[in-house]
Amino acid sequence: MELILALGIGVLTGSGVWLLLRPRTFQVIIGLSLLSYAVNLFIFSTGGLRTGAAPVLERGMAGSLASHADPVPQALVLTAIVISFATTALFLVLLLAARGLTGTDHVDGKEKSR
- Would you say 7 or 46 has its CB closer to another protein? 46
Give the nearest distance from C-beta 44 to another protein in angstroms.
9
Q: According to the binding rule CB under 8 A, does residue 32 interact with another protein?
A: yes
The 3-state DSSP class for residue 68 equals strand
**CB–CB of 20/38 below 8 Å?**
no
Number of Cβ within 10 Å of residue 107's Cβ equals 15
What is the identity of the amino acid at 19?
Answer: L
| Residue 88 within binding range of another protein, rule CB under 8 A | yes
Interface with another protein (CB under 8 A), residue from 7, 57, 78, 86 = 86
Q: How far, in Å, CA of 29 to CA of 91, rounded?
A: 8
Residue 7 vs 72, nearer CB to another protein: 72
Are 35 and 16 within 8 A, CB to CB? Answer: yes
How far the first Cα of the chain sits from its last, in Å, is 48
Q: How many residues bind another protein (CB under 8 A)?
A: 32
By CB under 8 A, tell whether 12 contacts another protein: no
User: Which residues are near another protein by CB under 8 A?
Assistant: 20, 25, 28, 32, 35-36, 39, 42-43, 46-47, 72-73, 76, 79-80, 83-84, 86-88, 90-91, 94-95, 97-98, 101-102, 107-109
